[in-house]
Structures are given as C-alpha cells and as structure tokens.
Structure 1
Amino acid sequence: MRTVIFIPARYASSRYPGKPLAELRQKDGSTKSLIRMSWEAARAIEGVDAVYVATDDARIAEHARGFGAEVIMTSEACENGTARCAEAAAQLGEAPDLVVNFQGDAPLTPPWFVEGLIAAMKADASVQMATPVLRCDRQTYENFTEDRRNGRVGGTTAVFDRHMNALYFSKEVLPYIAPGKLPEPIPVFHHVGVYAYRPGALKAYIETPVSELETLEGLEQLRFLSAGLAVRCVEVEARGRLFWELNNPEDVARIEAALEAS
C-alpha cells in the first residue's frame, strides 16, 4: 500500500500569522522552525513512501527546501488542510493508496500515533478515513480548561461511539464534567490532528458542500460527519510523552517545556 504524507502549511493564520516559520527553542539551546520540526517528526514514521510539504506560500516553500524537504505548491484557494492534501495528491505521478495529513503545527506527534493509524486502515478496508484520539491525562485536561477559561481556542476534543466511529469533534471540552467531579480515568479524548484518507474519501470531501458545523467550529472533519461519512477514531497511547499542538502564541512555552523535559 503506497502511503504518502503531506504536511499542509499556510502563512496566513488568523490566530498566529506566519506560524510555520515560528522558531522554537530546542533542548540543546538551538532553534528550529515549526515546519522543520513537523517535517522531521513525519520523516521518523515507518512504513511511509514519501513526505511532502504542501503550501501556497513562497516563503514557506523556500525555507522547507532549504532544510531538504520536498515541496508541492498548491493554490491559495485551498480552504483547509484536507483540501490542500487533495490538491497535492492530484499532482503526484503515482496515485497513493493512502494519504496522511500530518499537521504542521504538531511537532510533538510521536511516530507511533501515525503508525497505529496506518495499521488500522490496512487492517480494515471498509474504513475510508481515520484519525487518532488520545485520552487526556490531568496535565492535558488542565491545558484544555485553562485555555477555555482564558477565552483561547486551543486543542480539539473528540467523542465517539462503541464502534470507535466519531460522534462529534469540538473546540469545547467534551464531554462536560462538573467542577470537582473529575473521574479517573478522565473521559475526555484529545483529538490528534492527523488524518488518513483513502482516495475516495478525499474525492467525497471535495465534492461535498461546506457544512454549518464545520464553519461554526472551524473544524474541517465535521464536513464528513455532516454528510454522514464515517470517521474512525483510533485510540493511541502517550507512552509518557506530552502531546500538544501549537494553536496560539501561548503554546510555544508549552511545547518548549515538553522538548526540554524529553
């Protein structure tokens, strides 16, 4: 099964303009750009045939080529990462059997998150799209609730049925838990913003109109759910590592602290 990873990257972000080029301090005191860290994380994933940065921005493209990444230029019309992956995949000479959308703002994504996702897709040919979910530990749950208390839109949570098919994704913390009643294990799952699609799922996405829920939440995967297309959630394990994305400038310190502790 030919598997290709795309790292969608755009410069114009409403919450963090120029985010892919943001420099983060490493454990040794040096710095690396967010897009380079994400590319290196993607390159560490086993069972992948190629990794590309997909962007519409010449600054990002030049920077990515400078550290050795293969770049596919996409149009400015791409409304989100899924659309950018679909456009990039169409430019490949050999069509992939599986496309992985690896977020350019999640350099803390361990390789086994994506390897588990790919394995789940290979094991069940009926699954057209899948995404990882990670049960929150106390620190991650506190990160979520702190962001919401301060009016920041941070990570995304996922709820799913007993067959592991997604019921909903939200930038709110779901399910709601009354203050002082946090159970163990914590029943909140952090949605890891990685997606694996079969070509038919990407085609269906492009052909499906934008949904109201997708627009309200700002979450592209809700278009699949609104259209009645199943999204399989694959639970992954942290193995002692903190996972968080760089959604806001405030997240830089969180990620740098995690790098220092690694």
Structure 2
Amino acid sequence: MTQISKYYHSNTRPVQILGIIPARYASTRFPAKALVDIGGKSMIQRVYEQAIQADRLSKVIVATDDQRILDHVASFGGEAVMTSVDHQSGTDRCHEAFMSIGSHFDYVINIQGDEPFISPEPINELASVLDLSTELATLVKIIDSEDLLFNPNVPKVVLNARQEVLYFSRQTIPYLRGQEPADWLKQHTYYKHIGIYAYRIDVLSKITSLPVSSLEKAEALEQLRWLENGFRIRAVVTTDDSHGVDTPDDLDKVTKKFLS
C-alpha cells in the first residue's frame, strides 16, 4: 500500500473534491462563448448550475482570465477566481485556481466550460473512483458508429485490463489486421475520450511543471504528456455523451437538441 493510501485508510474522512470550470474569454473559434446567451442563461451559468448538482463535489468554482466573466459569475451567485491569460490548457488554469484559493482538497475535477448541458451523473461517476490511490482519471464512452471510429477529431482510448489508459490517439487503434474496417466495431470494443479529468493534487502540481512531450506534439493531445512521463490514468466508462460547443454552429445544434 502506498504512503498516500495508508494516509487515506488511517483517516476515514471523505475525499474532498474541488470542481473547477475553466472559462477563458478569447476562444479562437468562438470569442466570449462563456457569456453567450442560451435560452435566457449564459453558457457558464448553465455549466455551473449543472456542476453544483454533482453531490460528490465538495465545492465548485469558475477559473477565468477575464473580469467580465468573473463579474458575471458573481452576479448569479457563483464563485470565480482570476487566472492568467497565458495558460495553454485548462489543466494549467485549474492548477493556478487551486493554488489561489488555498483550501484543502484531495482532488480537482476539470469540468469543461463549454458543455452547457453536462449532466451531473458523469461527474459523480468520475468522482466515485477517487480514493487517493488514483493519480489521474478521465471518462470514456464506447464508440457505436463508424463515423466516430474513423473521425480524427474524436480521440480514441486504449485501455489495459485494469481500466487504465494505455494510449490516446486521433488514429483508430488498435488496427485489426485481416479484418475489413467496416467490421471493426463487431470485432472489438473501441472507446472515445470524454474530456473531463480528475487530478490528485500532488499529481496536478507535477504534470503542470512538465515540458511539452513529443507524443503530445504529434497528436495534439495534452494527456499524452502525462502518460509519456509515467503517470497512470484511470478510465471510467460512462454512457453519457459530451456536447461541447466550439463554434456558433455547435451552439445551434445543442440548443435545438436540449431546448426545442
């Protein structure tokens, strides 16, 4: 048993989990999307109100780089902290936000700030595996269509027998030798990545100090930096799907799906 596991089992307090919603203003494809109106509420308000329903979270905050977002979150009764405009990832923003509040938490869960209709259930599913022996965790979902399977914009995940991540790739892996691609879904269970992460706080500090890795550069997937440096990522299989908003067209689609 590891030292941190011994600490947990000798102190039966519940694990304390901080939910952080990164929300920057200058999104490349959709500037100010955190403040866009969706049926009478801003995107960030909808994400926040969904996240606080996840009863396994001890606290939820927004981490932003813009005073307008900070003020808006305060206007609907939420809590937000200001972070640097220079962060390259939500993980980096989460780390600064965690350090700034100075509270005692065991884990941070990074909740995507552009999923206005996220369900509390997958957040709770991810939180359920956090027992202080878990370094990092993320969600995956079974792929059920060829469109997703062969779409390079949908990261695929390969797992080991212990439900830990072996690799993330935009390519379709594993390659099924001798099988027609049209039959691959019948022969093997493929997973896609759902981009919500849990970090043990000591691990969060370590991974944000690592340089960009060669695998991360190759696939443009930051989580490969963690694997390349020997960190273990536990995967939780969910049936919930993600409905992120990267563009105004995405916003139209999710609005029609959830509000029509």
TM-score (norm 1): 0.82
Secondary structure (helix, strand or coil) at the match of 1:250 reads helix
Q: Which amino acid aligns with 2:112?
A: Q
Please state how far the C-alpha of 1:205 moved relative to its aligned partner: 0.6
Contact 1:3 1:100 in 2 (8 A): yes
Corresponding residue of 1:88: 97
SS of the aligned residue for 2:252 comes to: helix
Name the CA shift for 1:83/1:137 in 2 (closer, same or farther; >3 Å). Answer: same
State the partner residue of 1:12: 26
- Give the aligned partner of residue 200 of structure 2: 198
Is the Cα contact below 8 Å between 1:135 and 1:186 reproduced in 2? no
Q: Is the 8 A contact 1:154 1:248 kept in 2?
A: no
User: Structure 1 counterpart of 2:141, which letter?
Assistant: L
Q: Determine if contact 2:143/2:149 at 8 Å carries over to the other structure.
A: no
1:169/1:209 CA distance change after superposition, 3 Å:
same
What residue number does 1:66 align with? 75
Moved more, 175-184 or 63-72: 175-184
Residues matched between the structures, number = 243
- Tell me by how many angstroms 1:126 deviates: 2.2
SS of equivalent to 2:77:
coil
Q: Could you tell me how far apart the structure 2 residues matched to 1:253 and 1:129 are?
A: 33
Change (3 A) 1:247 1:111: same
- 1:215 corresponds to which residue? 217
Aligned counterparts of 2:127 and 2:18: Cα–Cα separation in 1 = 11
Gaps of 5+ in 1: 25-29
Contact 2:144 2:185 in 1 (8 A): no
Please name the residue that 1:158 is paired with.
157
Correspondent of 2:57 among 35, 48, 66 = 48
Q: For residues 103 and 155 of structure 2, what CA distance do their matches in structure 1 show?
A: 33
> Aligned partners of 1:63, 1:215: CA distance in 2, in Å?
35
State the partner residue of 1:134. Answer: 141
Runs of 4+ in 1 over 6 A off after TM superposition: none
Read off the aligned partner of 1:110 and give its amino acid letter. S
Q: Distance in 2 between matches of 1:33 and 1:116?
A: 26
Moved more, 193-202 or 245-254: 245-254
Check the 8 A contact 1:117/1:131 in 2, yes or no: yes
On the 8 A contact 2:110/2:196 being kept in 1, the answer is yes
